[in-house]
């Protein structure tokens, strides 16, 4: 059972993250509503997620299918869930073969999705950044440039192409550099709690 302190701490942390995201958007000359904050709740109990929901947040992310399947039915139906992990299913083998590309392959992948994947809708680009989950301005600039190239080739306005970059360590910088979607977990929920292996 999640402690009251953990639940209250997560709600307070959410308010801080939202404030920081709005300030970063303002510094970049963008409206606060132009950035989606996905509260990444992996490994956290339902009670802590509920406290963030009760604080007014509706956008949550999970890395593991089983956690999403277990948690979603226990929480309100108006939550907007984002699955941000690797999908491990025999039915998704073809999709798994293209779960990431170098920047030089972005345009080709986007064209492939548009022309050859009728059940998928291309909606944007995402980067994780460095192995320590932080990024540099160059990483964000690279993805922003990829979006420009993809939008030009697909003949869509850049506003219709999400740019998902930035996590707990660097979401403000990512917003300032054009991110429309940031994934914030440990800053809201605290360090992840993985079960110990025997």
pLDDT of residue 132: 61
pLDDT at 88: 58
Distance CA 13, CA 188 (A): 5
Q: What is the dihedral of CA 38, 68, 127, 91, to 10 degrees?
A: -150
**Residues 66-92, mean pLDDT to the nearest whole number:** 80
Q: What is the per-residue pLDDT across 2-43, written as a single tens digit (0 to 9) for each?
A: 577 777 889 999 999 999 999 999 999 999 889 999 999 888
Contacts of 135 (CB under 8 A, 6+ apart): 127, 129, 165, 166, 170, 173, 174
Instruction: State pTM to two decimals.
Output: 0.80
CB 138 within 8 A of CB 99: no
């Amino acid at each position: 059972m999640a402690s009251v302190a953990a639940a209250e701490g997560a709600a307070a942390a959410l308010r801080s993250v939202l404030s920081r995201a709005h300030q970063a958007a303002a510094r970049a000359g963008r409206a606060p509503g132009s950035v989606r904050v996905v509260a990444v709740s992996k490994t956290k109990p339902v009670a802590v997620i509920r406290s963030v929901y009760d604080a007014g947040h509706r956008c949550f992310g999970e890395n593991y299918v089983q956690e999403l399947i277990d948690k979603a039915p226990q929480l309100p139906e108006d939550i907007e869930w984002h699955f941000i992990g690797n999908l491990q299913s025999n039915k998704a083998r073809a999709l798994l073969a293209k779960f990431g590309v170098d920047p030089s392959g972005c345009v080709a992948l986007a064209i492939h999705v548009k022309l050859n994947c009728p059940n998928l809708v291309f909606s944007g680009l995402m980067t994780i950044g460095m192995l320590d989950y932080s990024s540099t301005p160059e990483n964000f600039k690279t993805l922003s440039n990829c979006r420009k190239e993809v939008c030009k080739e697909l003949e869509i306005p850049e506003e219709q192409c999400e740019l998902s970059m930035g996590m707990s360590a660097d979401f403000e910088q990512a917003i300032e550099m054009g991110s429309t979607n940031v994934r914030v977990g440990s800053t809201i929920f605290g360090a992840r709690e993985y079960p110990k292996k025997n």
